Amino acid sequence: MYGSRIAGTGSSVPDRILSNADLERIVSTSDEWIVTRTGISERRIAADGETTSDLAERAGRRALEAAGVDPIDVNLVLVSTVTPDMFFPSTGCLLQDRLGALHAAAFDLSAACSGFVYGLSVADAYLRAGVMRNILVIGAETLSKVVDWKDRTTCVLFADGAGAALMQRTTGESRVLSTHLYADGSRGGQLIIPGGGSRHPISQKVVDENLAKIKMANGNEVFKTAVRAMEEAAVAALKANGVEVSDIDLLVPHQANARIINATAQRLGLPKERIVMNIDRFGNTSAASIPIALDGAVRAGRLKPGDLLLLVAFGGGLTWGSALIRW
């Protein structure tokens, strides 16, 4: 029986650091408010002209290198992003060219902060079905380009970065055990970029009213929904595989807010040492957050063969999901 495994990971963030003190000069906020409410101390922001594909390319190359896979052997470049370089060509196609993945298909996937788990699930299905051997899944964002820098309720949260995983067909025991994906479009308005698409094409009105920027209707509601959704997705993964919380060696959750992560872990009963948290340095990088955190954990030696790894995500759409992986 074919399965899929993560053969290598990589990540990349912009050089430019934006601290909470820097934000104090942009909007009416304070380091103390941001740290206590979100756990974020600083985040990375793309340079002028630095694009999602620039970050994605660096992360993708590192994942390929870690896996020891040549770009020519990649069958699919899948980029999860809500901040593509442009509507089309897809960022996946831009990367297919830049990486020299000459035999690969390429597309983008839009599931906001759940994008990496959604992408991993798609890749797992192709690999398990036996139709592909190597898939490069990348979560990459430059949210700084769609943040309203006058809106203090959102601009302190979001940031830029990219993370990648080279997923490979396998017959071994190290493999993705299950993925669970969920969506509730009826609550999509809670996190939205309303303008710039076919409903409100770019116009003076869209620019004047900041409609092509991130809007968050009710942060507190999003907070509560995120905790419940991540718990639901985690429990579904445990149940489907007949494992207990105590069997989980490492949880890599979407990095939206340290309090959301802590509340989710508390509800699950998972101790802090088994949770990867890097939000203090990177903020919320949407689809990039899980693969950046995962790559950090892999490179820090926090995963050994046989470990049980749980990924849980939540984001705009609304979307949420989980993946349970035998490392």
Active site residues per annotation? 113, 254, 284
What stretch of H or E contains 299?
helix 289-299
32 makes contact with ligand COA (CB under 6 A): no
310 makes contact with ligand COA (CB under 6 A): no
Residue 57, C-beta contacts closer than 8 angstroms, at least 6 positions apart: 95, 98, 99
- Which one of residues 16, 22, 31, 33 is an interface residue with ligand COA (CB under 6 A)? 33
38 makes contact with ligand COA (CB under 6 A): yes
- Give the tokens for residue 144: 């700084």
Shorter beta-carbon distance to ligand COA: residue 126 or 314: 314
152 makes contact with ligand COA (CB under 6 A): yes
Are residues 140 and 269 in contact, defined by beta-carbon separation less than 8 angstroms? no
264 makes contact with ligand COA (CB under 6 A): no
The 239-258 contact track toward ligand COA, x by CB under 6 A, reads -----------------xx-
Q: Which residues pair with 179 in a beta bridge?
A: 323
262 makes contact with ligand COA (CB under 6 A): no
222 makes contact with ligand COA (CB under 6 A): yes
Integer CA distances (angstroms), 13 to 58, 124, 199, in order? 9, 26, 32
311 makes contact with ligand COA (CB under 6 A): no
Integer CA distances (angstroms), 69 to 7, 61, 134, 145, 188, in order? 9, 10, 8, 32, 38
Q: Order of strands across the sheet with 319-326?
A: 175-183, 319-326, 308-315, 250-253
Q: What are phi and psi of 103, to 5 degrees?
A: -105, 10
The 190-209 contact track toward ligand COA, x by CB under 6 A, reads -x------------------
Shorter beta-carbon distance to ligand COA: residue 122 or 226: 226
User: Interface residues with ligand COA (CB under 6 A)?
Assistant: 29, 33, 37-38, 113, 152-153, 156-157, 191, 216, 219-220, 222-223, 226, 256-257, 284, 314-315
